[in-house]
Amino acid sequence: MIWEWAYWLKRTPWDTGVTPPELLELVAARFPGGGRAIDVGCGTGANVVFLARSGFATLGIDVSRRAIALARRRLREAAVLAEVKVGSATRLRQLAGQQSFDLALDIGCFHVLSPSDRRAYADGLRQCVVKRGVYLLYAFLPRESSRRVRGASPDEIGSLFADGFLLENMKQGEDGGSGYASAWYTLRRV
């Protein structure tokens, strides 16, 4: 799988090891006492560590076994307790078990999924996030790449999450690493 090779070859520009200011601000403003969080596509776990240190009981999931092995090492080195699992974002309910979350985080996972996988992801997220919970999503905006359109449009995100989530905020910008147009979305579970 492409993700395994990327982590073994250390060609993971998306996995910066830096918690973005958007997440720092959201946690400070809305979750000063922590809660329960899930990081979908957690990579090597930098944000899992941040969330655990911020008082969250945290679950990180990633499809890459190598990324999860590195996340487990990061958690040990940081001396924080959190759970990380190998699994697909299309199976959130199964991976979460009976857990429900106050905060769901996705920095760059959703936009690489196929349309059918995006629907399964949205359905699983609806089942896992508590009422009034927050979903913070970072995704590339659509662009043509190798004769395919990659990324996710605000309309698609609005449509997929309309049943169960309210879009509170969208902030467009540019990805610092790739230069691609991107956006941060803050959605609240209703």
Token pair listed for 179: 């230069």
Positive or negative, the CA dihedral 93, 97, 98, 101 is: negative
Residues 37-83 have pLDDT tens digits of: 999 999 999 999 999 999 999 999 999 999 999 999 999 999 999 99
Q: What pLDDT was estimated at residue 85? A: 98
Which among 7-16, 65-74, 138-147 has the top mean pLDDT?
Answer: 65-74
Question: How confident is the model over 102-120, as a mean pLDDT?
Answer: 96
Packing angle, helices 115-128 and 154-161, rounded to 10:
50
Rounded Cα distance between 188 and 190, Å, is 6
Phi-psi region of 17 (alpha: psi -120 to 50; beta: other; left: phi over 0): left
Radius of gyration of the chain from Cα atoms?
A: 15
User: Coil, helix or strand for 118?
Assistant: helix
Q: Which residue has the higher pLDDT, 147 or 172?
A: 172
SS3 26: helix
* Nearest CA-CA partner of 23 in 51, 63, 3: 51
Domains of the chain (ranges; CATH) run 2-10+23-135+155-189 (3.40.50.150)
String of DSSP letters for 27-91? HHHH-TT-EEEEEET-TTSHHHHHHHHTTEEEEEEES-HHHHHHHHHHHHHHT---EEEE--GGG
Q: How confident is the model at residue 8 (pLDDT cuts 50, 70, 90)?
A: confident
**Lowest mean per-residue pLDDT among 19-23, 69-73, 159-163, 177-181:** 177-181
pTM: 0.93
